[in-house]
Amino acid sequence: MSTVTLKKAPVRQPEWFPPVNKNSEKPTLQIYNSLTRTKNDFHTIKPGHITWYSCGPTVYDNSHMGHARNYVSTDICRRILQDYFGFNIKFIQNVTDIDDKIIIAARQQYLFEQHVSDVYKQVNNELLSKSKEYLASYIGKNLPEFTGSSIETEFIPWVDSIQNIQEIIKEKPKFPMYIKAARTAHESIYGKTNELSLEQFLANIKDVAMPHLDKELGDTVTDPSVFRKLPAYWEKRYNEDMARLNVLPPSITTRVSEYIPDIIEFVDKIVENGYAYRTEDGSVYFDTVKYEHSHHAYAKLQPWNKGDLSLIDDGEGSLSTGHSKKNPADFALWKASKPGEPSWDSKWGKGRPGWHIECSVMASDMTGETMDIHSGGIDLCFPHHDNELAQSEAYFDNKQWVNYFMHNGHLHIQGQKMSKSLKNFITIDEALNDFSSRQLRLVFALTPWEKPLDFKDSLISEVKAMESTFSKFFTNVRALNSDYKHKVDEGQFISRKISKYERQLYDDLTTAQDEVDIAFNDNLSSSQALRSIQDLVSKSNNYIQLTATGTTELRIEVLLSITNWIVKVLDILGFETRSDRLGWIDVSSSEDSTGSAEDIALPYVKALSLFRDSVRNLAINKSDLNEFLKASDAIRSQLINLGVSLDDRPDGSALVKFLNAQEKEQLIAQQEAKLKAIADKEKRKQEQAAANAKKEQERLAKMKVRPQDLFQDKELYSEWDENGIPTKDAKGEEVTKSMKKKLLKQYQQQDKLHQEYLKSQQ
């Protein structure tokens, strides 16, 4: 019998149908570029990698809220590019520890210590005499508007009589700073000397003493350590402030003082390329005219400012002379050092770097002839960054040293621009006394990084409301998750089938994810991302409310998915989040504290024990049912004080919630408010009645005084006119015109008041 062999058919892979994207294309990442003053598609020199140079601090004083705005906003952008888009970032940031402001601050601090604070052990006549000399010198130089003959008796009245201060500020922005320093010193020297400690007195005269000492003795300061000590101290403080604000440290930190040989070499190359020249005093200046006539563009960032001599001079520094410059717009690459300034040897003589050259050298050392991103505050555009661009492109003889310039907008506080030079700034340390690091980051994240930011009450209220909404949502989700786990542990059957409500919430999550992606692609918009998250939280809270009323049965999985994603985004934005991915860290609590099980459990066990005792005694005594409800309310109050809330639910059970510090504080405050509301109302009523009576008595006593008797104080005045208005002070000197005007106004007000009294007596 023969065998038939069947041929096996070849095995073929079934056809695969590629998925078709039914939606529009994924958005392209765009970043606002100061070089074009518009949003540009973002492309890096090397795919997947970013070279980024950020202008760091000039360390001579406290870091302030302007620094916080700059560095936190930059940190948010950096984190989005790194942790959302996945770029590998080489982030370089400098520390300017050689600069005109640092030299002056270091020198003045040293001289004040050597000649005042380390010399005097008490406020004696010699110190008072010198302080009067310092004050007179300060007023003479900075407040020439004061023309009085006696600083002691006439200065404060003159300050109080200033009417057109806003007009003066327009012409002289530092006027309020000068007034504040002089007034503080004057009140300490001539007023409350006996009330002040030595430390307080010295602190109050310091601002008027240091400029005088520096003018007299500044050129005698030659010890190099003097100029290292101050910036080293403030650099350390700056790093501490950034750590408190959760700002990522740079990949690379550069210091000017460690780059002097490189700076000299860099300057020399610019001279060789024909774009700089040496002056008689040994300085080297960049030739802006020669540069522009050599197929280069100067002032790319703010071309409208390139002839502004006030900005140019401010950029050069107060110690610069501009000696023998060819053109007013030329700027120093190397400054010849004068007595009282640090110096290094160079082929042009002893000198020190110009401000702008520092960043060019340090950045180029790390990034080469082109970098992806350069960032800093908007106030650095011109002349600092424009000069950086010019001298760097002159060095490399190329057309584009930076591809994207990212400038953070100005910070205003309640509408007023802050300035370290005007001494009207709020330090980071002061801000963190009033706001948490998280609240400050929310403030900056809710404002586009390139736009001006006004730190005003409405924004602060919005931030606190958003923070509270997020925190309460996280607390609820953790409580619901714990309740779910408890039911599972008890063996309860829990359905996992989702309803239309969960389906809708999953759709809402997808929408929010797309919105955040669009926001981040659109100029790294953290503000739009946070508002999308806020909208998703609102929808999630509505779902939780539906489950609380029994409309639908809660499915914890959808809430966990939403919370995990929200925490992921918050983590990207630099907010500190919990390791369980169920919220952000309550920075004001002791979440990470440790202790024995007995120490942790004792307060809760004690509360339960007291509740048991109360309920047991009520039952034994067959008390009224309302007493049991009071006992129930009492333990709820005790648990709130321990950070636990019991929220009643329709089915008669309570949802156990562990409160963060803010929620605990709010609930405690609500309890206390209920208890003391009635007492406060009665107290206010009594206080108001007493205040009204006292006010009426004071008014009546004042009305009785004749206007002629108003100024009859011989310790203040020696002569009066026929109406009793002073014409000479106690020393016999004529009363100034401004003082006469003030006294006449007071006289007229009293006359009107006294006439009312006389009519009431008729």
What is the DSSP annotation of 44-101?
A: -SBTTEEEEEE---B-SS--BHHHHHHHHHHHHHHHIIIIIS--EEEEEEEEB-SSHH
Residue 4: other Cβ atoms inside 10 A: 4
**How confident is the model at residue 52, as a pLDDT?**
98
Q: Which of 252-266, 338-352, 380-394, 729-743 has the lowest mean pLDDT?
A: 729-743
Residue 557's contacts (CB-CB under 8 Å, 6 or more residues apart) are 496, 502
Phi and psi (nearest 5°) for 48? 85, -5
Q: Which two tokens stand for residue 569?
A: 């985004």
Residue type, 726: P
Give 253-266 pLDDT, tens digit per residue: 999 999 999 999 99
Q: What percent of the chain has pLDDT over 70?
A: 95
**Collapsed DSSP state (helix, strand, coil) of residue 255:** strand
Q: 708: closest CA among 699, 721, 691?
A: 721
460-500, pLDDT tens digit by residue? 999 999 999 999 999 999 989 988 888 888 788 888 899 99
Does the pLDDT at position 594 exceed 50?
no
Residue of 111, 144, 149, 104 lying closest to 130 (CA atoms): 111
- Count CA atoms within 13 Å of residue 542 on its CB side: 11
Residue 595 has a pLDDT of 47
pLDDT at 737 over 90: no
Residues in the chain: 762
Lowest pLDDT segment from 93-107, 141-155, 241-255, 682-696: 682-696
Higher pLDDT, 743 or 102: 102
Going from the C-alpha of 219 to that of each of 142, 222, 339, 342, the distances in angstroms are 21, 8, 5, 11
What is the per-residue pLDDT for 590?
A: 39
| 154 has pLDDT over 70 | yes
Q: Beta partners for 284?
A: 278, 334
The Cα–Cα gap between 180 and 105 comes to: 19
pLDDT for 506 beyond 80? yes
Q: Is the pLDDT of residue 87 over 70?
A: yes
Mean predicted confidence (pLDDT) in 513-524: 98
Highest mean pLDDT among 532-546, 631-645, 648-662: 532-546
For residue 717, give the H/E element and its range: strand 717-720
Cα distance between residue 40 and residue 523, in whole Å: 9
Q: What is the mean pLDDT of residues 164-180?
A: 87
Question: Would you say residue 420 has pLDDT above 60?
Answer: no
Identify which of 469, 598, 596, 601 has the alpha carbon closest to the alpha carbon of residue 530: 469
Q: Is the pLDDT of residue 178 over 60?
A: yes
Among 101, 95, 33, which residue's Cα sits nearest to residue 359?
Answer: 95
Helix (H, G, I), strand (E, B) or coil at 211: helix
CB 94 within 8 A of CB 362: yes
Residue for token pair 């809708």: 504
Instruction: Give the pLDDT band (50/70/90) at residue 597.
Output: low
Average pLDDT on 416-428 reads 70
Query: What is the DSSP-derived secondary structure letter of residue 386?
Result: H
8 A C-beta contact, residue 277 and residue 286: no
Cα–Cα distance measured from residue 368 to residue 3, given in angstroms and rounded to the nearest whole number: 79
Tell which residue, 536, 598, 539, 611, has the closest CA to residue 567: 536
Cβ-Cβ contacts under 8 Å for 563 (sequence gap 6 or more)? 473, 474, 477, 581, 582, 583
Q: Return the percentage of the chain with pLDDT > 90, whole number.
A: 64
Predicted local confidence at residue 609, as pLDDT:
66
* pTM for the predicted model, two decimal places: 0.79
> What is the mean pLDDT of the segment spanning 713-741?
84
Amino acid occupying residue 722: E
Q: Which residue has the tokens 């997808």?
A: 510
Burial class (CB in 10 A: 0-12, 13-18, 19+), 434: exposed
Q: What angle do CA 551, 581, 86 make, to 5 degrees?
A: 120
SS3 628: helix
The token pair at 453 is 């930011």
Question: Residue 435 phi/psi, 5° resolution?
Answer: -135, 150
What is the pLDDT, as a whole number, of residue 560?
A: 97
Q: Give the pairing type, strands 49-54 and 88-95.
A: parallel
pLDDT reported for residue 613: 73
Q: How far apart are CA 192 and CA 201, in angstroms?
A: 9
Label residue 716 exposed, middle or buried (CB < 10 Å: 0-12, 13-18, 19+).
exposed
| 579 pLDDT above the threshold of 50 | yes
> Which stretch, 162-166, 224-228, 758-762, has highest mean pLDDT?
224-228
Per residue in 350-373, pLDDT (tens digit) is 999 999 999 999 999 999 999 999
Residue 612: pLDDT over 80:
no
> Which amino acid is present at 165?
I
Phi and psi for 578 in degrees, rounded to 5? Answer: -75, 150
How confident is residue 593, by pLDDT bands cut at 50, 70 and 90? very low
421 vs 502, more confident = 502
* Helix, strand, coil content of the chain in percent (nearest 5): 55, 10, 30
